Structure 1
Amino acid sequence: MTTIRREVLTLPAAALGTDNPLPPLRPLDEAHRIDDRDRAALPRDMARQIDYEPLRSLLPVRIRDGYDRTRPPGRIEALVIENDRLRATVLPALGGRVASLHHKPTGRELLYTNPVFQPANFALNGAWFSGGIEWNIGATGHTTLSCSPLHAARVPAPDGSQMLRLWEWERLRDLPFQIDLWLPEGSDFLYAGVRIRNPHERPVPTYWWSNIAVPEERRVLAPADEAWHFGYERRLRRVPVPLHDGADRTYPLNSTYAADYFYEVPDARRRWIAALDAHGHGLVQTSTDVLRGRKLFVWGTGPGGRRWQEWLTEPGTGGYCEIQAGLVRTQLEHVRLEAESELSWLEAYGPLDADPDGEWHTVLRGAEERLETALPRAGVDAAYAAWKPHADTEPGDSLATGSGWGALEVLRTGWKLPGTPFEESTLGDAQQPWLHLLRAGYLPEPGTHEPPGDTLVARPWRDMLETAPATPVTEYHLGVAQWHAGDRAQAERSWERALATAPAGWPLLRCLAVADQEGGHHERAADRYAEAFDDLCERRGDDERWTAVTAALGREAVEALLAAGRTADARTVWERLGPAVRARGRLRLTEAGLLLAEGRHEEARAVFGDGFEVADLREGEEAIGRLWARLCPEPLPTRLDFRMRPDGD
Structure 2
Amino acid sequence: MIVTTIRREVLTLPAAELGPDNPLPPLRLLHEVHRIDDRDRDELPRDIARQAGYEPLRSLLPVRVRDGYGRAREPRELDALVIENERLRATVLPGLGGRVASLFHKPTGRELLYRNPVFQPANFALNGAWYSGGIEWNIGATGHTTLSCSPLHAARVTAPDGGEMLRLWEWERLRDLPFQIDLWLPEDSDFLYVGVRIRNPHERPVPTYWWSNIAVPEERRVLAPAEKAWQFGYERRLQKVPAPSCAAIQQLPYVADYFYDLPDARRRWIAALDEDGHGLVQTSTDLLRGRKLFVWGKGPGGRRWQQWLTEPGAGGYCEIQAGLARTQLEHVPLEAESEVSWLEAYGPLSSPEAADAVEARLEAALPRADVDAAHAAWKPHADTEPGEVLAVGSGWGALEVLRADWKLPGTPFGESTLGEAQEPWLQLLRAGSFPEPRRVRPPGGTLVAPHWRDMLETAPATPLTEYHLGVAQWHGGDRAQAVRSWERALELAPSLWPLLRCLAVADQESGNHERAADRYADAFDDLCHERRDNGASWTAATAALGREAIEALLAVRRTAEARGIWERLHPGTRERGRFRLIEAGLLLAEGQPEAARDLFRAGFEVADLREGAEAIGRLWARLSDEPLPAHYDFRMRPPEA
- Asked if TM exceeds 0.5, the reply is yes
Q: Which moved more, 1:23-32 or 1:563-572?
A: 23-32
Q: Please report the TM-score for the alignment, with normalisation by the length of structure 1.
A: 0.98
Q: Which stretch of the first structure deviates more once superposed, 24-33 or 629-638? A: 24-33
CA 1:484–1:492 in 2, change beyond 3 Å: closer, same or farther? same
Q: Alpha-carbon deviation of 1:548?
A: 0.2
Amino acid at match of 2:17: A
**Residues 608-619 of structure 1 mapped to structure 2, 5 A cutoff:** 608-619=600-611
Cα separation, 1, equivalents of 2:609 and 2:456: 36
Superposition deviation, residue 38 in structure 1: 1.4
Cα deviations across residues 477-526 of structure 1 (Å, max 9, x unaligned)? 00000000000000000000000110110000000000000010000000
Where does 1:483-522 land on structure 2 (aligned, <5 Å)? 483-522=474-513
- Give how far 1:59 is off: 0.5
CA separation in 2, counterparts of 1:337 and 1:480? 27
Give the partner amino acid of 1:382: A
Q: 2: distance between equivalents of 1:56 and 1:457?
A: 12
Q: Does 1:579 align with 2:571?
A: yes
Structure 2 distance, partners of 1:74, 1:612, is 24
2:347 is the alignment partner of 1:350: yes
Letter in 2 for 1:479: G
Name the SS for the 1:13 alignment partner. Answer: strand
Aligned to 2:336: 339
Question: C-alpha separation between the residues in 1 aligned to 2:591 and 2:30?
Answer: 32
2:413 equivalent in structure 1: 422
| 2:15 and 2:75 in contact (8 A); partners too | yes
Corresponding letter in the other structure for 2:521: A
Residue by residue, what CA displacement relative to the aligned partner does 1:290-348 show, whole Å, maximum 9, x if unpaired?
00000000000000000000000012210000000000110000000000000000000
* Structure-2 residue corresponding to 1:116: 118
Choose the corresponding residue for 1:291, options 288, 293, 297: 288
Aligned to 1:133: 135
SS in 1 for 2:511: coil
| 1:476 maps onto 2:467 in alignment | yes
Contact 1:177 1:196 in 2 (8 A): yes
Matches within 5 A, 1:95-244: 95-243=97-245
Q: Which amino acid aligns with 1:31?
A: V
Deviation at 1:242, TM superposition (A): 3.1
Write the mapping of 1:303-452 to structure 2, written as runs, cut at 5 A: 303-356=300-353, 363-452=354-443
Give the 3-state SS of the residue equivalent to 2:544 in structure 1.
helix
- The separation in 2 between residues aligned to 1:40 and 1:478, in whole angstroms, is 38
Contiguous gaps of at least 5 residues in structure 2: none
Aligned with 1:429: secondary structure?
coil
Aligned-partner Cα distance in 2 for 1:630–1:447: 49
The aligned length equals 638
Residue of 4, 10, 14 corresponding to 2:6: 4
Change (3 A) 1:642 1:12: same
Deviates more, 1:515-524 or 1:445-454: 445-454
AA partner of residue 402 (structure 1): G
* Aligned-partner Cα distance in 1 for 2:251–2:264: 28
Q: Report the Cα offset of residue 9 of structure 1.
A: 0.3
Aligned AA for 1:104?
Answer: K
Instruction: State the Cα deviation string for residues 139-197 of structure 1 (Å, max 9, x = none).
Output: 00000000000000000000000000000000000000000000000000000000000
Shift of 1:421: 0.2
Distance of 2:448 and 2:472 partners within structure 1: 4
**Residue 359 of structure 1 aligns with which residue?**
none
Query: For residue 445 of structure 1, what is the amino acid of its counterpart?
Result: E
For residues 296 and 403 of structure 1, the distance between their equivalents in structure 2, rounded to whole angstroms, comes to 32
Q: Deviations over 1:99-124 (max 9, x none)?
A: 00000000000000000000000000
C-alpha distance in 2 between matches for 1:29 and 1:60: 18
Superposition TM-score, scaled by structure 2 size: 0.99
Cα separation, 2, equivalents of 1:593 and 1:607: 10
For 2:80 and 2:95, locate their aligned partners in 1 and report how far apart those are by CA, in whole Å.
8
Q: Measure, in 1, the Cα distance between the counterparts of 2:190 and 2:58.
A: 42
The answer on whether the counterparts of 2:31 and 2:610 sit within 8 Å (CA) in structure 1 is no
Q: Contact 1:183–1:190 (CA<8 Å) still a contact in 2? A: yes
Q: What is the SS of the residue equivalent to 1:415? A: coil
In the TM superposition, what are the counterparts of 1:624-635 in structure 2 within 5 Å?
A: 624-635=616-627
Secondary structure in structure 1 of the residue aligned to 2:426: helix
Rounded to whole Å, the distance in 1 between the matches of 2:593 and 2:275 is: 51
Q: Say which of 616, 632, 637 aligns to 1:640.
A: 632
The equivalent of 2:553 in structure 1 is 561
Partners of 2:422 and 2:519 lie apart in 1 by: 30
Tell me the distance in 2 between the aligned counterparts of 1:460 and 1:28. Answer: 26
- The code of the aligned residue for 1:71 comes to R
Q: CA deviation at 1:28?
A: 4.3
For 2:261, the equivalent position in structure 1 comes to: 264
SS of the aligned residue for 2:42 comes to: helix
In the TM superposition, what whole-angstrom CA distance separates every residue of 1:450-486 from its partner, at most 9, and x where no partner exists?
A: 1100110000000000000000000000000000000
**Does residue 623 of the first structure (1) align with residue 615 of the second (2)?**
yes
Gaps of 5+ in 1: 357-362
Report how far residue 217 of structure 1 moved: 1.4
Quote how far apart the aligned CAs of 1:248 are.
3.9
Moved over 4 A (4+): none
RMSD of the alignment, in Å? 0.9
Give the one of 67, 71, 74 matched to 1:72. Answer: 74
| SS in structure 1 of the partner of residue 80 of structure 2 | strand
Rounded to whole Å, the distance in 2 between the matches of 1:188 and 1:119 is 32
- The CA deviation at 1:364 is 1.1
CA contact (8 A) 1:100 1:132 kept: yes
SS in 1 for 2:73: coil
* Conserved? CA contact 1:622–1:648, under 8 Å: no
Mapped partners of 2:204, 2:339: distance in 1: 13
Question: Within 1, Cα distance between the matches of 2:429 and 2:39?
Answer: 47
In structure 1, how many angstroms separate the alpha carbons of the residues matched to 2:31 and 2:335? 28
Contact kept? 2:167, 2:386, Cα under 8 Å: yes
- For 2:441 and 2:629, how far apart are their aligned partners in 1? 43
Q: Deviations over 1:193-212 (max 9, x none)?
A: 00000000000000000000
Match of 2:26 in 1: 24
Partner SS state of residue 383, structure 2? coil
591, 603, 606: which one pairs with 1:599? 591
SS in 1 for 2:586: helix
Q: Do the aligned partners of 1:153 and 1:164 also contact (CA within 8 Å) in 2?
A: yes
| 1:543-562 correspondence to structure 2 within 5 Å | 543-562=535-554
Partner of residue 60, structure 1:
62
Corresponding residue for residue 37 of structure 1: 39
Whether the 8 Å contact between 1:230 and 1:259 is mirrored in structure 2 is: yes
Give the distance between the partners of 2:302 and 2:223, measured in 1 at CA. Answer: 22
Read off the aligned partner of 1:590 and give its amino acid letter: I
Distance 1:384 1:566 in 2: 62
Say whether the 8 Å CA contact 1:28–1:55 is kept in structure 2: no
Counterparts of 1:218 and 1:35 in 2: how far apart (Å)?
A: 31
**Deviations 1:506-558 (Å, cap 9, x if unpaired)?**
00000000000001000000000000000000011220000000000000000
**Letter matched to residue 33 of structure 1:** R
Bigger drift between 50-59 and 32-41 goes to 32-41
* Structure-2 residue corresponding to 1:89: 91
Letter in 2 for 1:608: F
SS of 1:72's partner is: strand
